[in-house]
Chains A and B, each alone.
Chain A
Amino acid sequence: DQQVKQNSPSLSVQEGRISILNCDYTNSMFDYFLWYKKYPAEGPTFLISISSIKDKNEDGRFTVFLNKSAKHLSLHIVPSQPGDSAVYFCAASATRQTGANNLFFGTGTRLTVIP
């Protein structure tokens, strides 16, 4: 049973425009959410996170929004750059901990930024 879902397998965006990647979860106990970025032939790398006590967290061009009532989070990338082309994984934790043994991952969304 997939507790973290990324329903869009792929997304294409023009360079300079906004990329919005979506993630839904089913477990109301999740209280910490993370986004990872993965390039081909590399492992996932941590990008940005948000605690359930917040509804927004911003880091440069990356902003994560959390809607707890809808059990939905999104990652906004503005402006999108070709180097952002990668697979993005959403992950969630139920214990306010970010260690890798507590994470439930989505299936990923492949973002392509077109120059």
Chain B
Amino acid sequence: DSGVTQTPKHLITATGQRVTLRCSPRSGDLSVYWYQQSLDQGLQFLIQYYNGEERAKGNILERFSAQQFPDLHSELNLSSLELGDSALYFCASSVGGTDNTEAFFGQGTRLTVV
């Protein structure tokens, strides 16, 4: 158990809809990262938050947004969903906001868009 909790584990929704994925980091970790793993793809970095502020942005679509709340949990919002958004979405957390720290991954949320 990495200590990072993601909910829900599975989510099935229709095209055009909006969903919210939730992540609770390990106790004491200030950074949260979101990754997407599509079929036959490696994990793709989406976005990082550190202590409530956006720290780094990767290949995140404009239809996607994230935030980190004062209690440090994070939510990834996916809107106007398309079939191609079906993927495993991982959250990871680390102690620091600097880059030289190990990150711990949650078990992922499997999103299926039908």
A residues with CB within 8 A of B: 2, 4, 41-46, 89, 91, 95, 97-108
* A104-B42, A107-B41 known; A99+B100 contact, CB < 8 A: yes
Which of A44, A97, A106, A108 lies in contact with B90, CB distance below 8 A?
Answer: A44
Q: Are B100 and A105 in contact (CB under 8 A)?
A: no
Q: Are B92 and A43 in contact (CB under 8 A)?
A: yes
Which of A2, A98, A101, A107 lies in contact with B55, CB distance below 8 A?
Answer: A101
The prevalent SS among residues of A at the interface is: loop
Q: Are B45 and A103 in contact (CB under 8 A)?
A: yes
The prevalent SS among residues of B at the interface is: loop
Could you say which residues of chain B place their CB within 8 Å of the CB of A103? Answer: 43, 45
Could you say which residues of chain A place their CB within 8 Å of the CB of B40? Answer: 107
Interface residues on B, range: 20 to 34
Q: Are A101 and B56 in contact (CB under 8 A)?
A: yes
Q: Once bound together, how far apart are the Cα atoms of A107 and B87, in whole Å?
A: 13
Q: Are A43 and B105 in contact (CB under 8 A)?
A: yes
> In residues 63-99 of chain B, which contact A (Cβ within 8 Å)?
90, 92, 94, 96, 98-99
